[in-house]
Amino acid sequence: MKRLVAATTLLAIMPALALAQNTGPKYRGQGYFFFGLGPTEDVWLGQGVIKHVGFGGEGFLYEGLGAGAEVGYVHAGPYAADAWIASGDVSYHFRRTAARGRVDPFVLGGITGFFPTSTGRGAPAGNFGGGVNVWLTEHAALRLEVRDHVNTVAGDYPGPHYVSFRFGVTFR
């Protein structure tokens, strides 16, 4: 009788023990594609709307801490030069191993290089922002992000801000 009670108790507890384990894989990195729209303020050109497309990726170094890079193309309107933008960033994902149907918020910041397609030599800049990945499947998420590229200008004028409201796809 004692064996029957012990076996029944063990069988009843086993599913609960299995649910308590973290079976989700620890992904080492992820990639993404994005499209962004946003306002810009420039000392000489005034205000406008930028269109930004690009792709990037990041590798996780420890827990949610990651390092990544991205490349994009910006069209700022009829009176501004189009430009290539390359960034190197450090990010932190608060729920790196988020499962399907879950949200993974993140913040990031780093250095950026602007490379105009028609005039000028380009300029160094910085960027910062944040957003969320909404995991629709195990390997694909909707990416929603806001990023501010802060350009530098020599002289007395502050650099323009290129704010981009982005949406895209993240995959792992």
Structural domains of the chain, ranges and CATH numbers in brackets: 28-171 (2.40.160.20)
Q: Which residue has the higher pLDDT, 44 or 3?
A: 3
What pTM does this model have? 0.77
Closest to 69 measured CA to CA, from 83, 53, 82, 85: 85
User: For 15-24, how does the pLDDT look when each residue is reduced to its tens digit (9 = 90+)?
Assistant: 655 555 555 5
Angle CA 8–10–13, to nearest 5? 110
| DSSP single-letter state for residue 98 | -
Q: Mean pLDDT score of the chain, rounded to an integer?
A: 81
User: For 84-110, how does the pLDDT look when each residue is reduced to its tens digit (9 = 90+)?
Assistant: 889 999 999 998 777 777 999 999 999
Average pLDDT over residues 146-161: 71
User: For 125-138, how does the pLDDT look when each residue is reduced to its tens digit (9 = 90+)?
Assistant: 889 999 999 999 98
What is the C-alpha radius of gyration for the chain, rounded to an integer number of angstroms?
22
